[in-house]
Amino acid sequence: MTFAIGIFAFISEYLDSSLGMGYGTILAPILIIAGYQPLKVVPAILVSQLVTDIAACICHHNCCNVDLRINAKDFKIAFILGLISSIGVCVSVLVAIKVPKWLLTMYIGLLVTGMGFLILFSIHRKMYFSWKKIMGISFLAAFNKGIAGGGYGPLVMGGQIISGITPKNAVGITAFAEGITCLVGFIAYLIMGKAIDWKLTALLLLCAAPAVPLAAFTVKNTHLDKLKEYVAILIIALGMFTFLKIGAGS
């Protein structure tokens, strides 16, 4: 079982670092099905993804997929996304222990699937940048992340593309913003007195980290139109896959 979890961690991180989503959304239900408790799974995902997101930012910046210099537009978008997401993830940690998990999972699945179809139907349309769209979606995405460990990337990636940001830039921006979100979420769980499964966290981190540079290279050599199509299809698939968490007892 440990080997299988390691393989899924690698694949999930490769998808996350190349298309901006998939790590928590895929891993969370798999770990729950494997017998881990949700309140053990989410912190482990937050910590391991914090580290891999930092690595992803460095790799994507070095590959020129995104410009994360302090005075660059990409950095400003990522930083604001991270700040707003921090608020959303704090609210979600409080809500997570009070609202039925199946209801939250249903909500996330519907939201993510709808976003994927919206991107798919707008692939050949000119999209214009909008701060309002970015801010609203980042709050919802962080709320999802803090509750279920996943659902952040699909919404933030989709929101950026719909707001006129190219997929390559959106991948790097998502990694930066999600890293901030994971850090704040992890701290929130510590404050709430939740124990961290460090053995699971280490397993996820060791198996996921090698996928980051490979993913950055993939993004650098993928055509923008194809990348947007891949993002849309994966978002729809992850939205539908999220529903499996209901059957897994989330």
pLDDT at site 148: 63
Kindly list the domain boundaries of the chain, sorted by start residue: 2-247
For the chain, the farthest-separated pair of C-alpha atoms sits apart, in whole angstroms, at 48
pLDDT at site 244: 66
Helices in 63-166 by DSSP H: which ranges?
73-96, 101-121, 131-148, 152-162
pLDDT at site 167: 84
d(CA 39, CA 46): 11
Q: Pull the structure tokens for residue 182.
A: 């994971």
Say which residues have a Cβ less than 8 Å from residue 53's Cβ, sequence separation at least 6.
175, 176, 178, 179, 182
d(CA 109, CA 239): 4
pTM listed for this prediction: 0.76
For the beta carbon of residue 249, count every other beta carbon within 10 angstroms: 12
Q: Calculate ∠ Cα 165-178-32, nearest 5°.
A: 125
Q: Calculate ∠ Cα 238-61-169, nearest 5°.
A: 50
Say which residues have a Cβ less than 8 Å from residue 93's Cβ, sequence separation at least 6.
146, 147, 185, 188, 189, 192
pLDDT at site 51: 94
Confirm if 208 and 10 have CB atoms less than 8 A apart: yes
pLDDT at site 214: 93
Q: Coil, strand, or helix at residue 194?
A: coil
Per-residue pLDDT of the chain (250 residues; tens, 9 = 90+): 789 999 999 998 998 888 887 788 778 778 877 888 877 888 899 899 999 999 999 999 999 889 999 899 899 889 888 888 787 777 776 766 666 767 766 776 776 677 678 777 766 666 667 777 788 877 777 777 666 666 677 778 877 887 788 888 989 998 998 888 888 888 888 887 777 889 999 999 999 999 999 999 988 888 766 777 777 787 788 777 767 656 555 5
Confirm if 161 and 173 have CB atoms less than 8 A apart: no
pLDDT at site 57: 94
For the beta carbon of residue 212, count every other beta carbon within 10 angstroms: 25
